[in-house]
Amino acid sequence: MLRYVLRRFLTAIPTLFVIVTIAFFLMRVAPGGPFNQEKGLNPVIKANLERIFHLDEPLWRQYVHYLQNLLRGDFGPSYNLPDFTVAELFKSGLPVSLQLGAMALTLALVIGSALGIWAALRQNRLTDYAVVAVATVGSTIPTFVIAPLFQLFFALTLHWFPVGGWGGGAFINKVGPVLTLTLPQLAIVARLMRGSMIESLHAHHIRTARALGLSDYSVVIRHALRGALLPIVSYAGPAAAALLTGSVIVETIFSIPGVGRYFVEAALNRDYTLVMGTVVLIAIFTVLFNLIVDILYAVIDPRVRYD
Amino acid sequence: MNMNFKSWLVGTTMLVMGTTGAFAEVVFNRGNSADPESLDPHKTSTIYEADILRDLFLGLTTEDAKSEIIPGAAESWTVSPDGKVYTFKLRAGALWSDGSPVTAHDFVFAWQRVVDPATAGEYAYMLAPVVNAEDITAGKKKPDEMGVKAVDDSTFEVTLNAPTPYFLEMLTHQATYPVSRANVEAKGADFTKPGNLVSNGPYTLAEFIPNDHIKVVKNPKFYDAANVKIDTVNFIPTEDRSTAMKRFEAGELDSNNDLPTEQLTDLKAKFGDQIKIGPYLGTYYYAFKITKAPWDNLKLRHAISEAIDRDYLAEKVWQNSMIPAYSFVPPGITGYETRTTDYAEMSQIDREDAARKVLAELGYGPDNPLKMEIRSNTSENHKNTAIAIQEQLKPLGVEVTYLNTDTKTHYGHLEQHGDFDVARAGWIADYKDPENFLALCKSGTGNNYSEYTDKGYDDLLAKAAASADPAERMKSLSEAEAVGVARDLCVLPLLYYSYKNIVSSKLKGWEDNVMDRHPSRFLSKE
């Protein structure tokens, strides 16, 4: 197993390299540059700026520079926020996105799975229909609708929570963004879990277990759940990578200082270094969580062997 | 037990005093539509950082609550008879927030730094009137050759290329603020970080968490600290304008400098006087590609301009958050006579008739439609404006298509002089002077998107620049506008911008003004 993990880490390096290369050149194909704006710059001043950020050099040399710096762990300065380096922006924003993402993921997995199991056990009964209905609605209402509704109802009408802001990480400020992030994920997890649980409950070994007179609890939790978990795990991997790296919509609407906004903002601003930094960050998270999914597969399903 | 009770009593009493008594800290939560690009005054360019830097730093001149010029770091100044040499007497005993004196040497250092190509200050051109400044920025001369001098610690002398009547006005801009030489040299690029930044304004930087808040606190060393009533200002970025309105309603924000225009009617009904909308020194305009047919035809350009119903745009598309415009320079500059197009006062129906006639003469009509593509940067309001114009021009036989691209693509395309028919742009004044607008139509200027060239126009601008008499100068500028804009449509003015603020009735001292500048030092909160 250890050798497998090591091998996966090693194969991640060329993957990241390819991603970085494609992103670097794709970004430069986009028209306009970081210093184009409504108030156009004097050409002399623009040339000075481009020289400072080495944007006047041939593209291949900029690429080599970028790779060299990246290998040293240097993401470079942000073009549009020159008071900060990309690393400083991540250092300040990533813990925020990680906290919100982790809380949302945990809630979605725990509550979503529980609801899914509950619905599966009461298939085609009222509870089942209710869960399916809620899950369908939950996964179809976009976050940009949930978030303002939350603000209107819980913040402005009931005054339970603040409308927005991070509040230095106060619990009360996290409720809205976490719930908004959780709801669609929870709905998907519940539906997945219901489906796979129903399938799992019809498996031969479950029938055998019941025939042997095992208790309901034992059948469901110890035997059926194990098989039912596999689709959840494969869904949770990419979902975790997406949640932990932040959401531009939730962060913008709730005025949260996370990193999710940078992907869109930086691309629109042609803040090349920040875009690249975000690409690397998301790529690392995706590779990491895919690996975790594969390891969990082996843990859950004894038939899966990697050595 | 007794001790515990006592300490509890003392603690509680102090807490009550702290929250209700005379010690209460006055906090102003100030919504700002975006985070600043930088807190280095020499590297900034947008209005998002202007309010913050105005609280942190003090230029030679500054503005009062109504945005009129008042002495800043300079207590007084004299101007030589030829209008070219300004001698500033710095405020006696003025200190940086670290306690060191603010000297003329700091100004020399700061101004050389702004124009130094190594700084690449986006607003280096604010100091272009100073001798050698432009050559230094272009790398042709050394920064120490700039026309600035510290006569002694408290006397700062500036030599200009030509008399520049708006020079004192320019000095309110953040690009001309001083920085502490000792501070910048000691901390390097990190000098703007909280804990490092030394400033000479009414406030000092306490915290900066990107996308969360910038906290500035009252600077006890500021010369007028006794009259600064707000202790702490939190600048809170409010990208999402709808959220900003909700945060205002919940009391999380005391003000915000932008409003969702689509909700304006509701907002006015809900917040009444707290919504503040008024004329602002900025113009929303289109540029024709004058260098190509058919847009090189002046009559055609005027026909299109005449046919556009600006009242409809202002009222229906922009919910009265914009004002119909027929000149490039907005009204509101003292001593300047704005020059509008001939048809500014005509009724819309008469204008349409006149436009239809011209178009017919040129052979355009429903059978032979004129094709016109409007390019703009992506925004719901820009799109709605273009669509309204499309509808207005349709009956006249003009087939308008609309192409929007993101901001960087749009302005990149214009800067490269890419092909287009009509393109959208906007200009907000950096300082209160018509020249700031009219320079955009000068031959060869980077922002001259229509590529307009006219010797008469350029000569009038040059005449104004050389004029020592302010009234004479304003007259030349006015004539230039009559030629370049009203006669030739080097830009097609559509709307003047309005400032759009929401300001809590608890905030006192907020004076509406055409520059929309509101230094926190003049405000107080109940």
pLDDT tens digits for range A260-291: 999 889 999 999 999 999 999 999 999 999 99
- Give mean pLDDT, residues B34-46: 88
Say whether pLDDT at B367 is over 70.
Answer: yes
Residue B415 touches chain A, beta carbons under 8 Å? yes
> Are B441 and B339 within 8 A, CB to CB?
no
Say whether pLDDT at A67 is over 50.
Answer: yes
Cis peptide before B294 (omega within 30 of 0): yes
Say whether pLDDT at B9 is over 80.
Answer: no
Q: How far apart are CA B299 and CA B296, in angstroms?
A: 9
User: At A126, is the pLDDT very low, low, confident or very high (cuts 50, 70, 90)?
Assistant: very high
A-proximal residues of B, 430-449, CB under 8 Å? 446-447
**Least confidently predicted of B142-146, B166-170, B465-469:** B465-469
Alpha-carbon dihedral angle through residues A48, A71, B38, B104, given to the nearest 10 degrees: -60
- Rounded to 5 degrees, what are φ and ψ at B133? -55, -45
Best probe of the A interface among B122, B184, B211, by most A CBs < 10 A, is: B211
- Give mean pLDDT, residues A130-146: 91
**Least confidently predicted of A26-30, A121-125, B442-446, B472-476:** B442-446
* Strand pairing category for B370-377 and B398-405: parallel
- The verdict on a CB contact (< 8 Å) between B407 and A252 is no
Q: How far apart are CA A58 and CA B331, in angstroms?
A: 47
Q: Which residues make Cβ contacts (< 8 Å) with residue A154, sequence separation at least 6? A: A160, A161, A175, A176
| B410 sits in which H/E element | helix B407-415
% of chain A at pLDDT higher than 90: 68
Provide the token pair at A271. Answer: 């803040």
Q: How far apart are CA B232 and CA B205, in angstroms?
A: 10
* Strand pairing category for B232-237 and B213-218: antiparallel
| Per-residue confidence (pLDDT) for residue A2, from 0 to 100 | 84
| Per-residue confidence (pLDDT) for residue A80, from 0 to 100 | 85
- The verdict on a CB contact (< 8 Å) between B209 and A42 is no
Helix (H/G/I), strand (E/B), else coil: B406? coil
% of chain B at pLDDT higher than 90: 83
- From residue B299, how far is each of B92, B327, B362 by CA, in Å? 60, 17, 9
- The verdict on a CB contact (< 8 Å) between A39 and B427 is yes
| B32 sits in which H/E element | strand B27-32
| Per-residue pLDDT reduced to its tens digit, B405-449 | 998 899 999 988 999 999 999 999 988 899 999 999 999 888 899
Average pLDDT over chain A reads: 91
Say whether pLDDT at B165 is over 90.
Answer: no
Q: Which residues of A touch B246 (CB under 8 A)?
A: 148, 151-152, 155-156, 163-164
Residue A227 touches chain B, beta carbons under 8 Å? no
**Minimum distance, in Å, between the CA of residue B153 and any CA atom of chain A:** 30
pTM over 0.80: yes
Residue B425 touches chain A, beta carbons under 8 Å? yes
| Per-residue pLDDT reduced to its tens digit, B117-136 | 999 888 888 899 999 999 99
Q: Which residues of A touch B412 (CB under 8 A)?
A: 31-33, 36
- From residue B26, how far is each of B11, B19, B221, B245 by CA, in Å? 22, 11, 18, 22
- From residue A129, how far is each of A125, A134, A187, A216 by CA, in Å? 6, 8, 13, 22
> Are A70 and A20 within 8 A, CB to CB?
yes
Provide the token pair at B126. Answer: 């604010």
Residue A241 touches chain B, beta carbons under 8 Å? no
Q: How far apart are CA B149 and CA B228, in angstroms?
A: 32
Q: How far apart are CA A268 and CA A252, in angstroms?
A: 15
| Per-residue confidence (pLDDT) for residue B15, from 0 to 100 | 43
| Per-residue confidence (pLDDT) for residue B18, from 0 to 100 | 42
- 3-class DSSP string for A20-87: HHHHHHHHHHCCCCCCCCCCCCCHHHHHHHHHHCCCCCCHHHHHHHHHHHHHCCCCCECCCCCCCEHH
B284: closest chain A residue by CA = A38
Residue B120 touches chain A, beta carbons under 8 Å? yes
Degrees (nearest 5) of the Cα angle A278, B216, A167?
55
- The verdict on a CB contact (< 8 Å) between A31 and B408 is yes
**Minimum distance, in Å, between the CA of residue B349 and any CA atom of chain A:** 34
Say whether pLDDT at A307 is over 90.
Answer: no
Instruction: Provide the number of CB pairs (under 8 Å) joining chain A to chain B.
Output: 150
Q: How far apart are CA B422 and CA B401, in angstroms?
A: 10
Residue A166 touches chain B, beta carbons under 8 Å? yes
Higher pLDDT, B24 or B9: B24
* Strand pairing category for B232-237 and B27-32: parallel
Per-residue burial over A27-51, b if 16 or more Cβ lie within 10 Å, else e, is: beebbbbbbbbebbbbebbbbbbbe
Average pLDDT over chain B reads: 92
Residue B99 touches chain A, beta carbons under 8 Å? no
User: At A39, is the pLDDT very low, low, confident or very high (cuts 50, 70, 90)?
Assistant: confident
| Per-residue confidence (pLDDT) for residue B23, from 0 to 100 | 63
Provide the token pair at B118. Answer: 């190594």
Say whether pLDDT at B13 is over 60.
Answer: no
Higher pLDDT, A189 or B19: A189
| Per-residue pLDDT reduced to its tens digit, B199-231 | 999 999 999 999 999 999 999 999 999 999 999
